[in-house]
Structure 1
Amino acid sequence: MRRIDGGTFTMGSEVYYPEERPLRRVKVDPFWIDETPVTNREFARFVDATGYRTVAEVPPDPADYPGLLPDYAQPGSLVFTKTAGPVPLTDYHRWWSFTLGADWRHPLGPGSDIDSLDLWDHPVVQIAYADAEAFANWAGKALPTEAEFEFAARGGLEGKEFAWGDELAPGGQMLANFWQGIFPFANTREDGWERTSPVRSYPANGYGLYDLIGNVWEWTQDWWSDQPLVPVKDKRQSCCTISNPRGARRKDSLDPAQPELNIGRKVLKGGSHLCALNHCQRFRPAARHPEMVDTATSHIGFRCVVRG
């Protein structure tokens, strides 16, 4: 882990997506944070020590999912598959599919075990929020808040769009694992990777931390809100400093598109190897995304913190 001394920084961005606005001054206290996302090797130690079974390895309870089809009442999770050509980017069903037997040991489904694919030093994926929290508790750690994650991801740089400056690929150099080409069908792999990459494959940021941008999305402990907390009534621009924000209330994080499920959403940070210039430009410290706490996918992992 690396110790972050804490401090005050400008959180958010006015350039990209509405949910990142407004810019606001935020203070975080000192904390320690993992240098890298938790790897398959590290997660395997946890499972070996505890016998833990992840959400993706347990059949969902039909009582929790009204109208659940029998094919989905089995262990599995979401896997990304490239499309054959251009598709509407508003329809994520074109590239995401629920895959029976997909879990952290088999991130792309049966036949894709982490041993045969040599993924031991890649970030663990197919991790739902409860899985990340269980690991953190076992390790005597916690999941970061959104503010802690963004402060760490900026690496001491103030007001920059990317973790290394204002240019995505300075001089053509790939500084994170993201999608080059046209999503979701043409990945030119200028960064060398089609999917996840081993941790520490790219330079560390100013705090000595790796993969806080790209590779895999990472869970934070904050409940999602479409608008970040700001200390002014009109929600336009912060005039004051917020200390150690902890996100929204759970009821505000529910997905209005499926109220019957009553499943809360947590904030993901950092973007992933699926972020591209033509879709999901979230390979940035300010970027944020909601994810239902029961959902595991082939591009979501996590890292931990210790406060104080």
Structure 2
Amino acid sequence: MHSIGCITKSDSLLGAGFRELVVQPLDFTQHVTPMVRQAYDCIHPRDAVARANRAQELLDRIGQLEDERRARLGPEASILVDSPLMVRLLLIVNESYRQLPDARADLFDKAIEALLRVDYGREEEDRHELATDWEDFREMAQHLAIHMHQQGRDQGREIDERALAAALREKAEFQPYIKAFIGHARQRGSVVEERDGTYRFIHLAFQEFLVARYLAEVPGRDSRQAMLDCLTDHLEDPWWREPILLLAGYLAKNAAGAARRLLGELAATGTTANARFSAAELAGAATLEWQKSGEALRTRCAQRILTLMGDAEALRDSRPPVRARAGDTLGRLGDPRFDPRRWHLPADDLLGFVRIPADPQFKIGTRSRDKKQVSQVVGYDVSDDEINDLATPTPAFYCARYPVTVAQFRAYCEAAEVRPGNANALRDADNRPVRYVDWREALAYCEWLNQALASEFLAGNEIARLVGGGSWRVALPSELEWEKAARGGLSDTVYSWGDVRDPNRANYDDAKIGDTSAVGCFPANGFGLHDMIGNVWEWTCSRYQAYPYRPGDGRESPNPSNEEWLVVRGGSWSNHRDLARGAYRGGVLPGARGLGLGFRVVLRSAPVSSAPSSVTPDSVL
């Protein structure tokens, strides 16, 4: 039995003395697992091995379906297997076909067929009607599904009986069956069920699939433009995400060539920047779900997303969460910006390093004269710790275009045969910045990369030549180098792009992503560097000391103690805009790890070193 709760409903149609039972969704461990195991106890009563194996196979597939659903729709998505009826349907499909289909569209198609052919009728006449007319019922159900879904998320889940009948009367061929269709819904014998005079699909997933099937079948399999026209107004609407993905899956099962052509055209459609990103991401996600989509189509979808991410106008006019979703899909498709043969470093001649010119007049921090203005912009009094009026010349150096990614850090772990200190460091998408890495792990990555770049594997590469010669070293940036790179050639501005906050320029809390994002989802600064602000805090090699900043004053000396604070810069996805700016200084201990703490590397011509010193600032993680 699954859990129910009871409440008294004084205005119930059945009278004040009756109770309404509110059925709660099944819990996988408490309810689904024992139901499946009990079913296979009955199916294989004399074969303990068979019943255990078959039960576990089905439970594993159900778990996979739920994980995939959360990955597509977010962690708050409703569960798919939420009732005994859904468990029964999956059991029927699993036994009829010896396993659940890998493709969701195929699974839902078979489940709906099983549901409509189940004998729910009480009279012989009912049983005969269900056995012979289930295909007519499916056509009616999909017509009803598209009618309801077009009402939108707020109005599209339920329909009253009068509106339901009116929708079905739109098709003359349905009219002889409307009464029977409604009758079966009342008996819970259809994909539609009745509750207190209103009707809904027994699960939203069935409504979504039938919308997809309608789009595929009614316009005709070769009418790609008709399908795209139906989808144009819905590309940005999460309510339509599943129907679009299921449409591709249904076509892939029944007409692979048509599916490939549709997805190729979908990837390139859209009239606004948001719609273009959404369409490209949907096409990529559908291609990933379809195991036989082919490398050519995956490459085409990846290249489309990458083209949009390189388009300044598209970045400016699209919303950050839309770009972040596209960035994750790009990572799953295989991000062509990075070369897996070269430890997932950027696939360009300089391996992602960008030359930062020398600046004899550079001043780190915020000027005394600007403190009041900056405080007004960010909404609080900025700390004296960031006030500085003295110039600190910066020599030329190279800075990595992106923070170190998950794929790059994994390449290090595998090559060096080390485990990350926190397993979560490798669980994000490959093209997101690595996080949960402490200061010494970041240093170890730098040392390994020096050895990798100096190997004969990269003979002839300019960056490898600099490192191999011994005069240039990969390292964590000093605080001075970090801020010089982050400002992108600007000086004395509140943010690295100017004096006006702009959540479309960096992944901080106002961007509404709620997590890290694939590197490069936001515009580059004036030097061509991405994500210097937001996404993750970045380790530096500098101790947290007061300004003025003087080279050789001990703040960059190696081997700090575990109690000495080190500077982190840039803010993260979870921080307010007052922290996500070039001059803000954060401080943490070397052993800190966090869900918003990562790093990037620089290439400099000589190490910076001197005697140690320390100060205790506020922690920002």
Q: Please tell me whether the aligned partners of residues 403 and 598 of structure 2 are also in contact (alpha carbons under 8 angstroms).
A: yes
Q: 1:212 aligns with which of 527, 532, 538?
A: 532
Q: Please tell me whether the aligned partners of residues 358 and 394 of structure 2 are also in contact (alpha carbons under 8 angstroms).
A: yes
Q: Please tell me whether the aligned partners of residues 177 and 197 of structure 1 are also in contact (alpha carbons under 8 angstroms).
A: yes
- Code of the residue aligned with 2:356 in structure 1: it is I
C-alpha displacement of 1:243: 5.2
Aligned to 1:177: 507
Q: Distance in 1 between matches of 2:553 and 2:484?
A: 12
Q: Distance in 1 between matches of 2:445 and 2:586?
A: 22
Aligned to 1:165: 498
Instruction: Confirm whether residue 296 of structure 1 aligns to residue 616 of structure 2.
Output: no
Identity of aligned residues (%): 31
Aligned to 2:542: 222
Larger proportion of helix: 2
Larger proportion of strand: 1
How many matched pairs? 216
SS in 1 for 2:393: strand
- Code of the residue aligned with 2:565 in structure 1: it is R
C-alpha displacement of 1:40: 0.2
Q: Extract unaligned runs of 5+ from structure 2.
A: 1-352, 375-381, 451-473, 606-621
C-alpha displacement of 1:103: 3.2
Q: Distance in 1 between matches of 2:564 and 2:405?
A: 26
CA offsets per residue over residues 130-161 of structure 1, 9 Å max, x none? 01000011111100000000000000001111
Aligned to 2:245: none
Q: Please tell me whether the aligned partners of residues 12 and 24 of structure 1 are also in contact (alpha carbons under 8 angstroms).
A: no
* TM-score for both structures, normalised by structure 2: 0.33
C-alpha displacement of 1:247: 2.5
Counterparts of 1:71-150 in structure 2, within 5 Å, are 103-105=424-426, 113-114=427-428, 119-140=429-450, 141-150=474-483
C-alpha displacement of 1:206: 0.3
Q: Distance in 2 between matches of 1:131 and 1:271?
A: 20
Aligned to 1:29: 395
Q: Distance in 1 between matches of 2:594 and 2:358?
A: 31
Q: 2:576 aligns with which of 276, 282, 291?
A: 276
Q: Please tell me whether the aligned partners of residues 541 and 556 of structure 2 are also in contact (alpha carbons under 8 angstroms).
A: no
Q: 1:264 aligns with which of 543, 549, 564?
A: 564
Q: 1:19 aligns with which of 385, 396, 413?
A: 385
Gap change, CA 1:244 and 1:250, over 3 Å in 2: closer
Q: Distance in 1 between matches of 2:404 and 2:489?
A: 23
Query: Where does structure 1 differ by over 4 angstroms across 4 or more consecutive aligned residues?
Result: 242-246, 248-251
- Code of the residue aligned with 2:365 in structure 1: it is G
C-alpha displacement of 1:174: 1.1
Q: Distance in 1 between matches of 2:495 and 2:486?
A: 9
Q: 2:418 aligns with which of 49, 52, 55?
A: 52
CA offsets per residue over residues 255-296 of structure 1, 9 Å max, x none? xxxxxxx5222100111112115xxx1111111111100111
Q: Please tell me whether the aligned partners of residues 55 and 130 of structure 1 are also in contact (alpha carbons under 8 angstroms).
A: no
SS in 2 for 1:268: strand
SS in 2 for 1:28: coil
SS in 2 for 1:41: helix
Q: Please tell me whether the aligned partners of residues 567 and 588 of structure 2 are also in contact (alpha carbons under 8 angstroms).
A: yes
C-alpha displacement of 1:249: 6.7
Aligned to 1:155: 488
Gap change, CA 1:148 and 1:55, over 3 Å in 2: same
SS in 2 for 1:25: coil
Task: Return the structure number with greater relative CO, CA threshold 8 A, min gap 6.
Answer: 1
Aligned to 1:202: 522
C-alpha displacement of 1:246: 6.1
C-alpha displacement of 1:224: 1.3
C-alpha displacement of 1:48: 0.8
SS in 1 for 2:443: helix
Gap change, CA 1:245 and 1:306, over 3 Å in 2: farther
Q: 1:247 aligns with which of 515, 532, 555?
A: 555
Gap change, CA 1:288 and 1:273, over 3 Å in 2: same
Q: Distance in 2 between matches of 1:250 and 1:18?
A: 26
Aligned to 1:10: 363
CA RMSD after TM alignment: 2.1
Q: Which structure's CA Rg is the greater one?
A: 2
SS in 2 for 1:139: helix
C-alpha displacement of 1:244: 7.6
C-alpha displacement of 1:54: 3.0
